[in-house]
């Protein structure tokens, strides 16, 4: 088993990475817990709900299972409220513990429920998608969407543990693997050029879910994310670099309707756009832009963005949480392995949209 | 001007108490703010909305006003969402600031909106009811109600400042003054016997809104609350004593429908019930119980509880956040000026309900 440690003002906790980790979930439940709710969705419950329940029953505590509807379209208040209803109906108290068993949507909604139920109870992340394992389950960002913007309502709230079972990737659709790999290569792009090169060399092994390669990619991603959020839990500075590709990506998701493209797919495409914008404003080499585009393509993500109309693109990007005083700001790469956060001239942005957007959808 | 300081892990901030403080609200807005939203309700807006807007306009920032429906019945997700809608439509960013101008409901809902909009923005409390001035605006408890329980969804989230204008009490209905005084005498009961005696001696001056008496009562209440929350922000121990009378009070509010009795009225009655329970289990003297009942009556709050049915009483109290593993726990008084937190025998509780509940409503 690999263990990566995350330390933030909001809490310090371990990330356990191992094959078969779901069998050992009981190890992550605090000793003074009074009851456990597994929060999951229908799809994940069918695969792993019973296994998680059996593992948690070893604590001797009452374990209930809360099934949410499946998909980004349900990452909203109504779904959150299903959790509150179940917790209140089952008289869950302040020492109860939630376990988020699922992908990013389950983790974000369950985490926000934990952050706000009775003003905060403890929760464990057990991510079952690659994207959640390498990104959303680590660092304490929780949220639901609002009709006017993604992740607009939420909290920074850390789990007490993250349990990553690498075996679960075997039941993931290939599209989900591709989406997760987009966040993996993101870490290389923003902070670790050597890891980016390693991803280029091992892309076939990663897409084939070769265990050694995949375990290394997950561990390195978690280490890099832990490094960043340990320095800046509440995204007042450094942490913003983790959003590389996300301003474009969020516009794609919102413009097409959440759930049309997977989050990781939108981020993959967004990273190509952000690389182009880096070339136009910071002189990132065209060779580096090509490496970004080629690797995004090699992991199986789209590299050409949908045509939402230029005005709507700008409009959608302005809802981004990184906007300040109406000024659009982007994470950009002076070179591969290094990221900066700055505003850009409108003309450069327009040119990049012209270059990266497919004219007719 | 009196200033009381609150220091918690979640933030350190001043409470300013003075006549005419609303004119100087601009002093409490952080220098790097990008925009301000006054969150208030229709009733308060009619009295003080324009005054607050003019005062805040001195910052040179954009100021918008968000009007919520008035009353505890609207302390819910729908009302919270009115705030999110307005903030997003007006492109409020992470450096925007909210100002809660109103009573406990406005403060709790606005505070929870601040805690969760874009995962947390800054907010200022400008409480306009006595109850909010001496209790809910201080200490960072924010929440909305759930159909199955009061304040079940919320966060511990501290304001950057609390601005108390004692002049606003002149427009408050007498019933609201009585409700606020219930929380004032609570501080005496749980932590400061001398202050309780002072309240007994000055009850006429307080009900007449005599400025010197009222200013002292507010300042002393804020000092005592600050003392408690500075030691235990997240209510893991000591802070629970602030809920003296509240387990009974919450049951009354939920049982009759939120908003039928004012929160302070329910707490006033609940303190009489909790005093009776203290006599039955901890030997609080009958003379002390009489002093509690007499002062609750003298401030104008009810001392006899509504008949919700014994089973429903117990049921409603069990939803209380202080319940652990199904065990009802109460804040009790060994003597006036000292509080403890413990579970009680069911028989004692039944006896007290039999004694304090009006047989037919």
Averaged pLDDT of chain A: 94
Same domain, A145 and A213: no
Residue B47 main-chain phi, psi, to 5 deg: -85, -45
Structure tokens at A228: 């960043």
Whether residue A360 has pLDDT greater than 60: no
Same domain, B270 and B210: yes
Same domain, A273 and A315: yes
Q: Return the pLDDT at A327.
A: 74
Q: Return the pLDDT at B340.
A: 95
A202-221 pLDDT, tens digit each:
999 999 999 999 999 999 99
Chain A nearest-CA distance from B141, in A, is: 8
CB contact under 8 A, A119 and B155: yes
Q: Mean pLDDT over residues A251-267, rounded?
A: 90
Chain A residue whose CA is closest to B157: A119
Same domain, A49 and A166: yes
Share of chain A above pLDDT 70, in %: 98
Of B170, B193, B217, the residue that ends a domain is: B170
Same domain, B117 and B218: no
Same domain, B212 and B288: yes
d(CA A209, CA A203): 10
Is the residue at B361 inside a domain? no
Residue A342: Cβ within 10 Å count: 11
d(CA B277, CA B264): 19
Residue A303 main-chain phi, psi, to 5 deg: -115, -5
Chosen for mutation from B93, B157, B247 (greatest number of chain A CBs closer than 10 Å) is: B93
A2-38 pLDDT, tens digit each:
999 999 988 899 999 999 999 999 999 999 999 999 9
Is the residue at A14 inside a domain? yes
Whether residue A237 has pLDDT greater than 90: no
Of A171, A191, A220, the residue that ends a domain is: A171
Same domain, A155 and A187: no
Chain B residue whose CA is closest to A34: B325
Same domain, B201 and B341: yes
Q: Return the pLDDT at B71.
A: 84
The domain that contains A78 carries what CATH number?
3.40.50.1970
Same domain, B126 and B234: no
Residue A204: Cβ within 10 Å count: 10
CB contact under 8 A, A318 and B91: yes
Whether residue A325 has pLDDT greater than 70: no
| Number of domains chain A contains | 2
Same domain, B154 and B11: yes
Q: Return the pLDDT at B168.
A: 96
Task: Please confirm, yes or no, whether A31 is among the known catalytic residues.
Answer: no
d(CA A127, CA A39): 11
Same domain, A167 and A24: yes
Tell me the residue range of the domain where A347 lies: 174-356
CB contact under 8 A, A141 and B152: no
Is the residue at A361 inside a domain? no
Residue from B235, B354, B230 nearest B304 by CA? B354
Is the residue at A179 inside a domain? yes
Of B170, B194, B229, the residue that ends a domain is: B170
Is the residue at B283 inside a domain? yes
CB contact under 8 A, B85 and A148: yes
Point out the residues of chain B with pLDDT beneath 70: 320, 323, 325-326, 360-361
d(CA A157, CA A10): 7
- B3 labelled ligand-binding: no
Catalytic residues of B: 119, 141, 183, 225, 235, 239, 243, 246, 250, 263
* Chain B hits for A95, Cβ within 8 Å: 324-325
Residue with tokens 């959020």: A229
Same domain, B135 and B264: no
Q: Return the pLDDT at A361.
A: 44
Is the residue at A131 inside a domain? yes
Cβ–Cβ < 8 Å for A86, A36: no
Is the residue at A26 inside a domain? yes
d(CA B157, CA B135): 15
Chain B residue whose CA is closest to A318: B91
d(CA B208, CA B204): 6
- B103 labelled ligand-binding: no
d(CA A56, CA A63): 7
Structure tokens at B232: 């235990």
CA angle A294, A298, A300 (to 5 degrees): 125
The domain that contains B306 carries what CATH number?
1.20.1090.10
């Amino acid at each position: 088993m690999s263990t990566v440690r995350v330390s933030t003002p909001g809490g310090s906790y371990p990330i356990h990475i191992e094959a078969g980790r779901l069998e050992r979930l009981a190890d992550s439940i605090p000793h003074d817990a009074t009851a456990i709710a597994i929060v999951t969705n229908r799809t994940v419950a069918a695969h792993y709900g019973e296994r998680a329940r059996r593992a948690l029953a070893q604590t001797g505590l009452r374990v209930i299972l809360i099934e949410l509807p499946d998909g980004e379209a349900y990452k909203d208040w109504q779904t959150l409220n299903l959790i509150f209803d179940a917790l209140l109906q089952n008289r869950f108290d302040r020492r109860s513990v939630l376990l988020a068993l699922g992908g990013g949507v389950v983790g974000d909604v369950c985490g926000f429920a934990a952050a706000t139920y009775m003003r905060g109870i403890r929760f464990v992340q057990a991510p079952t998608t690659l994207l959640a394992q390498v990104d959303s389950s680590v660092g304490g960002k929780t949220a639901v969407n609002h009709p006017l913007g993604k992740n607009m309502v939420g909290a920074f709230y850390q789990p007490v543990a993250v349990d990553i079972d690498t075996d679960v990737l075997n039941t993931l659709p290939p599209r989900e693997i591709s989406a997760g790999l987009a966040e993996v290569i993101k870490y290389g792009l923003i902070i670790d050029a050597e890891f980016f090169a390693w991803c280029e060399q091992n892309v076939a092994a990663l897409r084939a879910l070769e265990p050694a390669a995949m375990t290394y990619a997950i561990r390195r991603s978690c280490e890099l994310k832990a490094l960043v959020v340990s320095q800046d839990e509440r995204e007042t500075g450094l942490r913003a670099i983790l959003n590389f590709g996300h301003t474009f990506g969020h516009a794609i998701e919102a413009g097409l309707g959440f759930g049309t493209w997977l989050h990781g797919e939108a981020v993959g495409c967004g990273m190509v756009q952000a690389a182009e914008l880096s070339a136009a404003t910071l002189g990132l080499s065209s060779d580096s832009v090509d490496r970004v585009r080629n690797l995004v393509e090699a992991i199986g993500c789209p590299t050409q963005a949908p045509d939402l109309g230029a005005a709507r693109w700008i409009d959608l990007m302005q809802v981004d949480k990184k906007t300040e005083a109406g000024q659009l700001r982007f994470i950009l790469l002076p070179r591969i392995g290094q990221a900066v956060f700055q505003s850009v001239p409108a003309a450069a942005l327009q040119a990049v949209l012209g270059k990266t957007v497919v004219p007719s959808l």
